[in-house]
Amino acid sequence: MKAGVIFLVCATVLVLVSFIAWVCSRYKKCPSDKIMVVYGSIGKNKDGTNRSAKCIHGGAEFVIPVFQSYAYLDLTPISIPVDLRNALSKQNIRIDVPSRFTVGISTEPGVMQNAAERLLGLQLSEIQELSKDIIFGQLRLIIATMDIEEINTNRDKFLAAVSENVETELKKIGLRLINVNVTDISDESGYIAALGKEAAAKAINDAKKSVAEQDREGSIGEANARKEQRIEVSKADSLAIEGENEAKMKIAMSEAALKEKEAEAHKIATTAEKTQAAKALEESYAAEQAAEQARRDKEKATLEADVIVKAEAKKKEMELEAEAQAEQIRRKAQGEADAIYAKMEAQARGAEEILKKQAAGFAEIVKSAGGDAEAALKLLIADKLEDLMRVQVDAVKNIKIDKVTVWDGGQNGDGKTSTANFISGMMKSVPPLDEVFAMAGMQLPSLLGQKLPEEVASEPTETVTEIAEVTEE
């Protein structure tokens, strides 16, 4: 009994372990290079229909025993050679387009479902053939819409159109386009070869043209370099003798214009000569007189042209000389005007500064006087009183009276003698201090005294009745 129980327990444990191992074996992991397709009882779609399969990439899934099963789709790229022959282009020219397409099973959710439904269980060769049929059809369709020149020269556009159309169709069976490689494009008529020869000839001609243009640019550059050198030398020399160099430059320009006109006249004469010579050869001997007349007309025209050119050159030379003189006069006048302006501007600035300093000094004086303008004026007068007295003294100090002769015969009607009146008048000729203030529009301050009446200020003068001689050294 005891042995039976032990056996039963061991059998139960063994069955349980086996069941667990079997269940764990149904948990399937999907490798990174494959798609695991679980099919069977998967569930329903959103529209209520049964799901055909469940695709898993890069994960794991528990496969329910009995109700579900699984299989793998290989993600390894598939290379498909497509040797397209006699494809009709837009120009109705048949061409050969050998190419190689690289495809693979897509991992996009919707496209991956298409692969599970249409490619599961197919061999590699079967997938290649199915893909090749789709690619052939799309290639022919695209070639029929393009010119041979466009296919041959604009490969990017051609490959883009092929990739777009082919990949759209491949997605319907669960594939994606990885790469397209068109090896070569040819035709039996030799049209593409002719295009190549034309392109080669054009390239050669373009290269020759480019070389010629580069030579021309080199010559122009060298000439420009020489020109720039001459210009720079002229500029350097002009710092010393600008006027002379300008005249020389203008003369050079005049000579260049003269040479140009002479060359043009020579060209015209040569052309006329050749034309007349050709006419003489084409016509008969009867045109000999006309040719002679033409020769005379040519010589006359050449002579006239030389005279006109020389006259124009002389005229241009005189104009340039006049312009140079005028420019010199203008620059001299401009320099003098600038000097006068600068001097007057400096004087004006100096006067402005003096006035500003005086104004500032007056303001300080008023400020010192407590803001009283009259008091400030008194301070200024007191400061300048000595100078005012000195001016009055200077007015008469340089007067020299070598000799004064007076004939006085007595008193006048006013009770004063003539001598007294003379001396009094001389003294009155010197303006008193109050009159000096009055001339300046000011009033003598009361601290300096007040003017007395005329009759008070006058003093009697003794009558001189004899001849007096006064000599002042």
Contact 99, 84 (CB under 8 A): yes
Residue 13 lies in a domain: no
456 has a pLDDT exceeding 60? no
76 has a pLDDT exceeding 70? yes
Residue 363 lies in a domain: no
Q: 317 and 384: one domain? A: no
pLDDT digits (tens, 9 = 90+) for 39-50: 888 778 788 788
Q: 53 and 83: one domain? A: no
Of 321, 339, 357, the last residue of a domain is 339
Q: 119 and 180: one domain? A: yes
Residue 221 lies in a domain: no
470 has a pLDDT exceeding 60? no
Number of structural domains the chain divides into: 4
DSSP alpha helix (H) spans, 369-432? 373-397, 418-428
Q: 85 and 67: one domain? A: no
Q: 171 and 261: one domain? A: no
Q: 65 and 43: one domain? A: yes
Average pLDDT over residues 284-304: 76
Q: How far apart are CA 96 and CA 139, in angstroms?
A: 11
Q: How confident is the model at residue 95 (pLDDT cuts 50, 70, 90)?
A: confident
Q: Tell me, what's the pLDDT at 465?
A: 38
Q: Tell me, what's the pLDDT at 102?
A: 93
Contact 433, 388 (CB under 8 A): yes
Average pLDDT over residues 66-85: 87
Contact 149, 80 (CB under 8 A): no
- The mean of the pLDDT values for the chain is 75
pLDDT digits (tens, 9 = 90+) for 378-411: 767 767 767 766 776 666 666 666 555 655 555 5
Q: How far apart are CA 132 and CA 173, in angstroms?
A: 12
Q: 148 and 92: one domain? A: yes
> Three-state SS for 184?
coil
Q: Tell me, what's the pLDDT at 308?
A: 75
Q: Tell me, what's the pLDDT at 385?
A: 66
Q: Tell me, what's the pLDDT at 315?
A: 80
Q: 89 and 179: one domain? A: yes
Q: How confident is the model at residue 284 (pLDDT cuts 50, 70, 90)?
A: low
Average pLDDT over residues 194-198: 60
Residue 437 lies in a domain: yes
pLDDT digits (tens, 9 = 90+) for 98-108: 889 999 999 88
pLDDT digits (tens, 9 = 90+) for 19-38: 777 777 778 888 888 888 88
Domain that holds residue 166: 76-189
Residue 433 lies in a domain: yes
DSSP alpha helix (H) spans, 154-241? 155-171, 191-238
464 has a pLDDT exceeding 50? no
Q: 332 and 414: one domain? A: no
Q: 64 and 85: one domain? A: no
Average pLDDT over residues 419-435: 58
Residue 118 lies in a domain: yes
Q: How far apart are CA 366 and CA 383, in angstroms?
A: 14
Higher pLDDT, 389 or 456: 389
Residue 4 lies in a domain: no
Q: Tell me, what's the pLDDT at 103?
A: 93
273 has a pLDDT exceeding 70? yes
Average pLDDT over residues 415-431: 57
Q: 102 and 177: one domain? A: yes
160 has a pLDDT exceeding 80? yes
Q: 316 and 395: one domain? A: no
Adjacency order of strands within the sheet including 68-74? 53-56, 34-40, 68-74
Residue 234 lies in a domain: no
Average pLDDT over residues 255-267: 80
